[in-house]
Amino acid sequence: MDLSQNNLSGEIPDIFKFFKSMKLLNLSFNNLEGPVPADGIFQNGRKVFIQGNMKLCTSTPLLRVPFCNAEASKQWNSSSILKIVGFTVLSLVLLSCFATIILKKKKNFKQAAHPSCKELKKFTYANLMRATNGFSSDNLIGSGKYGSVYRGRIESEEHEVAIKVFKLNQLRAPKSFIAECEALRNTRHRNLIRVITACSTIDPTGHDFKAIVLEYSVNGDLGSWLHPTVHEDGQRRPLSFGTRIVITVDFGLAKFLHSYTSSDIHTSTSLVGPRGSVGYIAPGNIF
């Protein structure tokens, strides 16, 4: 049936859907409007031609006309809701996984980095100031690029201590403080001085203050041991061959291990560097 270009108006009668034996229905280029029937011949897009009717709408994409507002809105809402729900669920799952990983790493880091935080002694700026008589030059043992070392006595300590105060105005001094704390905290050796605690606070002028409190070494310097002076009895007591070998091997191992560390450690706190940092260097250059 060909009813095209007949200036027909109104809605398409539902009666057409009962013509099951109809092989073709051409309603194109009329003034038809409203929803297109969904049953009968209208289920086959190859048998129905309705183009040119600008006010028609349909519930099936086979007829190539716009969807009716209700159907389109319904379909859009359904698909949109599914997409939004799916995206939300996926985001929550990913966020939960990410949060779990972060919390686990943070927990492991705290356990690994601070295994004995409760055992560390806590000293204030005032404690260290009293111990060194106001960081007096009379108590100064030595000074380097990143800090100065003072000799002092803290009330709660049985023996004298060495207090290394960092010069935070230097470019790499804060990183040096952190790296040196990590290096000395994780290193155990009979020839390395024990770290008692670290102090990170604000001084009375409002500036950052960072220091490390260590054992005080009273055994002189390496030079006097390697090249001793003549004693009152007229005898020289140099280090034995075995002791010299131990020093050489220990220093060689430290140098070998040092070559596999990061550049940050190299430049900030070397255990074998010549700056005078605490580590496996001449005791005279330490304190």
Distance CA(84)–CA(12), nearest Å, equals: 37
Q: How far apart are CA 203 and CA 184, in angstroms?
A: 25
Do the annotations mark residue 23 as ligand-binding? Answer: no
Tokens linked to 18: 């009962």
- Decide if 11 contacts 32 (C-beta within 8 A): yes
End-to-end alpha carbon distance in the chain: 110
Which parts are annotated binding residues for ATP?
164
Which parts are annotated binding residues?
164
